[in-house]
């Protein structure tokens, strides 16, 4: 039987507001433990929350970018449970009346556009950070003692919940790349997984392909990069298929994905069996964004990445469009092409050489870059690389580099090519056996030998001619 | 403790001195803030061993004005604040509650922290982890609660005035039982920031004093929007000190369902009815109104909402950051032992009630339903105010009762607040004004007004107070 995975994602994004969600303590990394705290975020008796207006605007902005309906009246609620990182004994979140609902994001994929539904996006406060010392598990059970750093406690978080509209780990990854880029461009969060400012949990189930049933799902946590997420999802899909095919039943459970071993470890059932006793937070009044505010924020929205992938994709293949847009490179690409460069060549130079050289795309003069792209095969590789390394500097002009001519004289290059082929008999044999990708290897060796002065196009023709002889 | 310049200080009789008069004495330099503070400490030294109004006192006057007593649920920077609970023993706030800060700005000096039922849960102060307060009229009786400490202190001359907190009657009921004036303000007019929370949607801080004018003066100091409490608003009009002794044209509504309650003692009823007759004599029109839902369902509705919020508000007392910590092998162990040893029976009872009311599968039937009933109670009061300016009932069905009488029977204790709870649920202001005696014990009149009608309540209360002219100094304390 073939199986179809059904995946929904739950994403937490830490907003980069200056201050916390319900008090005016600074938000920031690297401060000494428990120095960014006050009676409110430490849950002292009588302390009361006051919402961060910027965070409220930002969740509306994000909701609009995700095509959501913006609630004219959203309500904060208390989610009650005991844990040392939760100073009040409850987290202030949104429950039955979240700020944003019912949106969707179009994910352009190689085989067309997939819509991923956004069930909700809501505001909440982050928990503090527990450090469990001693013990083997890194969890509170079995630890010798636990230290709590309340600096992170109360940081504004947006939780985004997708519909179970995703059907492969690859699609999940693409969705997340696009979502992340959207968030970064809205300038509301850094959204860096390795720093924990973007956290993703995945709900995974499988069903026989073609059916529309929803089988028992499992949650996977503890994944801190897009590729780990893809691997975690794949591991869980494989596990569930095996369970079903061996006649078993998948049971609802939460797993941690261990990146090092690629294995899923179940969390203890006790840690998930909770009744959070939600009720409306009586210390806060409902969030009622005015229609004017919502319209102003809507008008301020930039063109969104998904739309730009579609637009760029009209001139480039999907993969290149995705890389440019999710890398924040598409605007430079557009200007460079407008200045006369070839679309594909400009995309390659920007996505590979420019990024490889660590150049900030925002400070590049597209006119000059277009000239370099145009001349890239004519001028010595070394000159081109140097030019790219300096292209973002103020006052850069391409002219001095364009004046340099690559060595394209076959007579001069032939002995070098012969020497390289003679020195690498094994690779020559492999190439002849069909491994044509080695062409780049030979060209690279010649370029190295000529210190980047050779015309790469001429070299590659020479190599090809000699090897097919 | 001896006053600065002992022997030379002018004699003030703290039993009869009103806050207004005390302020005048200080302003005319007839007495210094320090001397006044010392005079009250002396009275406390003399009587508080018996009455136990204070959990702790402050030796030095920290301002240039007159002293004030604060209920121990109000955070005071540098001064231990326990809310009457063992779980907070030793907890010294690093910040002032907004109301404490506003008192400081007004020059008031903190005299001490007054006794309260644990976390303001109770109607007699018998639930205080530090022992009950006693009624200055008869120390075998309760002063009411939860703010029994403040009310008893004001009536015994151990403070010119004080602040209490009221969730379902904790200001009005003790004021009635001790014979002074107490205001529960409109929800949202006084900041709750720094006030140890019991039930957030009901808690309000308010003044307790000997006279209506004193209560108005203190309300003027504490009221108004506070950026630190999102549920506060600016007062629609400034607070006015009442001076009119007539009630011409005032329409007083008496809820039929309230006065029909059998729990109302005959002596209380008699004093109440005599006061209504007096009000008519001052020009008021007295009529009957109907609040059937409010009096049938108010109490059960309150005992779902308040414990539900309390169960959440009290979750922060886990032994991790402040207060008492029980030792345990694991986190769960530590939290359980901390809470088991730290909370008394009443908070435990309400935490259990509230947790149940909020649980999955019960929320709609209990907490959700109670909130819907609350909306009906709000509407019912609003329609009564289409015909009346104020509503009047007795504040408490009974006068002060003996210590120990109801402590073993939570339901009997909860019934103390039958008459005060409905207007609290509706977020409305209520004023207790002494209106007579029954068995030589004070009886209180409860005046309820629409939202933000404090000035109207002050005018009505003042006229009644003047016309009655009661001697509210407990006879046994008069020398």
pLDDT digits (tens, 9 = 90+) for A150-206: 999 999 999 999 999 999 999 999 999 999 999 999 999 999 999 999 999 999 999
Domain B19-293+374-470 is classified in which CATH homologous superfamily?
Answer: Amidase signature (AS) domain (3.90.1300.10)
pLDDT value, residue B220 = 98
Q: Answer yes or no: is pLDDT of B392 > 80.
A: yes
A278 to chain B: which residues are within 8 Å by CB? 358, 363
**Mean pLDDT (chain B, rounded):** 96
pLDDT value, residue A452 = 80
From the CA of A43, how many Å to the nearest CA of chain B?
A: 7
Lowest mean pLDDT among A260-274, A276-290, A431-445, B167-181: A260-274
From the CA of A51, how many Å to the nearest CA of chain B?
A: 8
Q: Answer yes or no: is pLDDT of A328 > 50.
A: yes
Give per-residue pLDDT as tens, B166-206: 999 999 999 999 999 999 999 999 999 999 999 999 999 99
B-interface mutation test, from A48, A131, A135, A143, most B Cβ less than 10 A away? A48
pLDDT value, residue A272 = 47
Q: Answer yes or no: is pLDDT of A141 > 90.
A: no
Given an 8 Å threshold on Cβ–Cβ distance, is A87 in contact with B97? Answer: no
Cα→Cα distances A351→A319, A427, B76, B273, B410, Å = 11, 29, 61, 89, 74
More confident residue, B11 or B465: B465
Exposed e or buried b for every residue in A300-321, given b needs 16+ CB within 10 A? Answer: eeeebbbebbbebbeebebebb
Given an 8 Å threshold on Cβ–Cβ distance, is A47 in contact with B359? Answer: no
Q: Answer yes or no: is pLDDT of B403 > 80.
A: yes
Question: CA B64, CA B47: separation in Å to the nearest integer?
Answer: 25
In B72-131, where does DSSP find H-type helix? 98-105
CB pairs under 8 A between A and B: 109
Give per-residue pLDDT as tens, B148-158: 999 999 999 99
Q: How confident is the model at residue B8 (pLDDT cuts 50, 70, 90)?
A: very low
Give per-residue pLDDT as tens, B13-70: 999 999 999 999 999 999 999 999 999 999 999 999 999 999 999 999 999 999 999 9
Give per-residue pLDDT as tens, A27-49: 977 899 999 999 999 999 999 99
Q: Answer yes or no: is pLDDT of A439 > 90.
A: no
Q: How confident is the model at residue A269 (pLDDT cuts 50, 70, 90)?
A: low
Which residues of A, range 275-304, sit inside 8 Å of B by Cβ? 275, 277-279, 282-285
pLDDT value, residue A402 = 85
Residues A282-302 have a mean pLDDT of 96
More confident residue, A399 or B223: B223
Residues B121-127 have a mean pLDDT of 97
The 8-class DSSP code of residue B195 comes to B
Contact A410, A462 (CB under 8 A): yes
Q: How confident is the model at residue B5 (pLDDT cuts 50, 70, 90)?
A: very low
Residues B64-86 have a mean pLDDT of 98
pLDDT value, residue B13 = 95
pTM: predicted TM-score of the whole model, two decimal places? 0.89
Among residues B391, B378, B395, which one has the least CA distance to residue B171? B395
pLDDT value, residue B10 = 56
Q: Answer yes or no: is pLDDT of B7 > 80.
A: no
Residues A119-132 have a mean pLDDT of 95
Question: CA A89, CA A48: separation in Å to the nearest integer?
Answer: 14
Residues B253-269 have a mean pLDDT of 96
Please give the residue of chain A at the shortest CA–CA distance from B313.
A88
**Mean pLDDT (chain A, rounded):** 92
Lowest mean pLDDT among A234-238, B6-10, B160-164, B343-347: B6-10
Share of chain A above pLDDT 90, in %: 66
pLDDT value, residue A270 = 52
* Nearest-10 Cα torsion for B122, B126, B127, B128: 120
Beta strands in A51-191 (DSSP E): 69-70, 76-80, 90-94, 100-109, 112-125, 129-133, 145-149, 156-162
CATH level 3 topology of A410-467: Arc Repressor Mutant, subunit A (1.10.10)
Please give the residue of chain A at the shortest CA–CA distance from B359.
A277
Query: Three-class SS of residue B339?
Result: helix
Q: Which two tokens stand for residue B309?
A: 């919020």
B318 to chain A: which residues are within 8 Å by CB? 82, 84, 89
More confident residue, B108 or A454: B108
Question: CA B371, CA B348: separation in Å to the nearest integer?
Answer: 23
Q: Answer yes or no: is pLDDT of B475 > 80.
A: yes
B375 touches chain A (CB under 8 A): no
Cα→Cα distances B385→B254, B381, B382, B428, B448, Å = 11, 6, 5, 11, 10
Q: Which two tokens stand for residue B479?
A: 């020398």
Please give the residue of chain A at the shortest CA–CA distance from B310.
A282
From the CA of A285, how many Å to the nearest CA of chain B?
A: 6
Reported for B409-415, long-range contacts at CB under 8 A and 24+ positions apart, including other chains, are: B410/B346, B410/B349, B413/B122, B413/B123, B413/B124, B414/B123, B414/B299, B414/B303, B415/B263, B415/B299
pLDDT value, residue A451 = 82
B82 touches chain A (CB under 8 A): no
Q: How confident is the model at residue A273 (pLDDT cuts 50, 70, 90)?
A: low
Domain spans of chain A? 3-297, 329-402, 410-467
Give per-residue pLDDT as tens, A337-368: 999 999 999 999 999 999 988 888 888 999 99
Question: CA A279, CA B221: separation in Å to the nearest integer?
Answer: 33
A-interface mutation test, from B77, B81, B302, B315, most A Cβ less than 10 A away? B315
Q: How confident is the model at residue B110 (pLDDT cuts 50, 70, 90)?
A: very high
Q: How confident is the model at residue A409 (pLDDT cuts 50, 70, 90)?
A: confident
The pairing of strands A129-133 and A69-70 is unpaired
More confident residue, B7 or B155: B155
pLDDT value, residue B2 = 40
Share of chain B above pLDDT 70, in %: 98
A51 to chain B: which residues are within 8 Å by CB? 230
Q: φ and ψ at B165, to 5 degrees? A: -135, 145
Instruction: Say which residue the tokens 């000699």 belong to.
Output: A466
A-interface mutation test, from B193, B201, B363, most A Cβ less than 10 A away? B193
Q: Answer yes or no: is pLDDT of A291 > 90.
A: yes
B333 to chain A: which residues are within 8 Å by CB? none
Q: Answer yes or no: is pLDDT of A400 > 90.
A: no
DSSP string, A97-135: S-SEEEEEEEEEETTEEEEEEEEEEEEEE---EEEEESS
Question: CA B236, CA A409: separation in Å to the nearest integer?
Answer: 91
Closest CB to A50 among B73, B230, B311: B230
Lowest mean pLDDT among B3-7, B257-261, B304-308: B3-7
Please give the residue of chain A at the shortest CA–CA distance from B119.
A45
- The residues of B carrying an active-site annotation are 71, 146, 170
Q: φ and ψ at B299, to 5 degrees? A: -65, -50
Give per-residue pLDDT as tens, B270-282: 999 999 999 999 9
């Amino acid at each position: 039987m073939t199986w179809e995975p059904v995946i929904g994602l739950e994403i937490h994004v830490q907003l980069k507001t200056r201050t916390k969600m319900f008090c005016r303590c600074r938000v920031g990394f690297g401060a000494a433990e428990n120095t960014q705290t006050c009676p409110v975020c430490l849950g002292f008796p009588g302390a009361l929350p006051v919402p961060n207006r910027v965070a409220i605007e930002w969740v509306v902005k994000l909701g609009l970018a995700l095509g959501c309906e913006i609630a004219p009246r959203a309500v904060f609620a208390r989610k009650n449970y005991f844990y040392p990182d939760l100073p009040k004994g409850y987290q202030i979140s949104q429950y039955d009346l979240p700020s944003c609902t019912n949106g969707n994001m179009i994910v352009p994929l190689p085989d067309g556009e997939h819509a991923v539904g956004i069930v909700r996006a809501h505001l909440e406060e982050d928990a503090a950070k527990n450090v469990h010392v001693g013990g083997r598990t890194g969890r509170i059970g079995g630890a010798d003692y636990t230290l709590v750093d309340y600096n992170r406690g109360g940081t504004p978080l947006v939780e985004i919940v997708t519909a179970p509209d995703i059907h492969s780990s690859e699609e999940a990854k693409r969705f997340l790349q696009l979502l992340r880029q959207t968030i970064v461009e809205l300038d509301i969060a850094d959204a860096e997984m390795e720093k924990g400012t973007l956290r993703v949990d995945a709900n995974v189930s499988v069903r026989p392909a073609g059916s529309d049933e929803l089988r028992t799902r499992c949650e996977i946590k503890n994944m801190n990069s897009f590729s780990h997420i893809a691997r975690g999802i794949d591991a869980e899909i494989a596990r569930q298929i095996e369970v079903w095919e061996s006649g078993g039943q998948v049971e609802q459970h939460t797993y941690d994905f261990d990146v090092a071993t690629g294995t899923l470890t179940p969390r203890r059932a006790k840690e998930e069996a909770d009744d959070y006793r939600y009720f409306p937070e009586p210390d806060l009044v409902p969030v009622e964004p005015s229609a004017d505010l919502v319209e102003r924020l809507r008008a301020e929205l930039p063109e969104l990445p998904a739309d730009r992938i579609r637009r760029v994709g009209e001139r480039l293949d999907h993969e290149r469009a995705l890389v440019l847009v999710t890398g924040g490179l598409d605007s430079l690409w557009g200007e460079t092409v407008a200045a006369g460069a070839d679309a594909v060549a400009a995309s390659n130079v920007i996505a590979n050489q420019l990024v490889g050289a660590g150049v900030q795309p925002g400070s590049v003069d597209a006119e000059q870059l277009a000239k370099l792209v145009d001349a890239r095969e004519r001028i010595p590789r070394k000159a081109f690389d140097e030019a790219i390394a300096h292209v973002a500097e103020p006052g850069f002009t391409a002219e001095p580099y364009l004046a340099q001519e690559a060595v394209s004289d076959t007579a001069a290059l032939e002995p070098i090519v012969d020497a390289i082929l003679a020195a690498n008999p094994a690779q020559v044999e492999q190439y002849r056996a069909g491994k044509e990708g080695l062409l780049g290897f030979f060209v690279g060796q010649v370029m190295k030998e000529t210190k980047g002065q050779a015309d790469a196009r001429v070299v590659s023709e020479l190599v090809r001619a000699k090897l097919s002889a | 403790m001896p006053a600065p310049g002992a022997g030379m200080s002018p004699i003030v009789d703290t039993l009869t001195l009103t806050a207004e008069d005390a302020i005048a004495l200080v302003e005319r330099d007839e007495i210094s803030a320090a001397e006044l503070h010392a005079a009250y400490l002396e009275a406390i030294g003399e009587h508080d061993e018996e009455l136990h109004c204070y959990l702790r006192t402050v030796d030095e006057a920290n301002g240039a004005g007159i002293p004030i007593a604060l209920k121990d649920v109000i955070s005071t920077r540098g001064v231990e604040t326990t809310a009457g609970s063992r779980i907070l023993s030793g907890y010294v706030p690093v910040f002032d509650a907004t109301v404490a800060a506003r008192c400081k700005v007004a020059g008031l000096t903190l005299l001490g922290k007054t006794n309260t039922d644990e976390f303001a849960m109770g109607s007699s102060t018998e639930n205080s982890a530090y022992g009950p307060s006693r009624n200055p009229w008869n120390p075998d009786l309760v002063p009411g609660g939860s703010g029994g400490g403040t009310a008893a202190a004001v009536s015994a001359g151990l403070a010119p005035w004080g602040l209490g907190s009221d969730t379902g009657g904790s200001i009005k009921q003790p004021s009635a039982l001790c014979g002074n004036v107490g205001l529960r303000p409109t929800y949202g007019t006084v900041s709750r920031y720094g006030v140890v929370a019991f039930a957030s949607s009901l808690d309000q801080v308010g003044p307790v004093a000997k006279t209506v004018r004193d209560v108005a003066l203190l309300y003027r100091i504490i009221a108004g929007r506070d950026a630190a409490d999102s549920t506060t608003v600016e007062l629609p009009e400034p607070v006015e000190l009442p001076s009119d002794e007539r009630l011409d044209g005032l329409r007083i509504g008496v809820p039929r369902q309230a006065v029909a309650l059998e729990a109302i003692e005959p002596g209380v009823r008699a004093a109440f009815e005599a006061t209504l007759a007096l009000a008519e004599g001052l020009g008021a029109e007295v009529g009957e109104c109907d609040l059937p839902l409010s009096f049938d369902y108010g109490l059960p509705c309150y005992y779902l909402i308040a414990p539900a919020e309390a169960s959440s508000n009290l979750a922060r007392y886990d032994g991790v950051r402040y207060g008492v910590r029980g030792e345990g092998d694991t986190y769960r162990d530590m939290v359980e032992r901390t809470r088991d040893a730290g909370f008394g029976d009443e908070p435990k009872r309400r935490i259990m009630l509230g947790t149940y009311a909020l649980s999955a599968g019960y929320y709609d039937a209990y907490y959700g339903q109670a909130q819907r009933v609350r909306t009906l109670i709000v509407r019912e009061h609003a329609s009564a105010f289409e015909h009346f300016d104020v509503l009047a009932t007795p504040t408490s069905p009974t006068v002060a009762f003996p210590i120990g009488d109801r402590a073993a029977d939570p339901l009997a204790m909860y019934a103390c607040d039958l008459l005060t709870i409905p207007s609290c649920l509706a977020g409305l202001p209520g004023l207790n004004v002494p209106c007579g005696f029954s068995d030589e014990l004070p009886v209180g009149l409860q005046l309820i007004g629409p939202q933000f009608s404090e000035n109207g309540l002050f005018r009505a209360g003042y006229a009644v107070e003047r016309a009655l002219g009661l001697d509210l100094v407990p006879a046994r304390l008069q020398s």
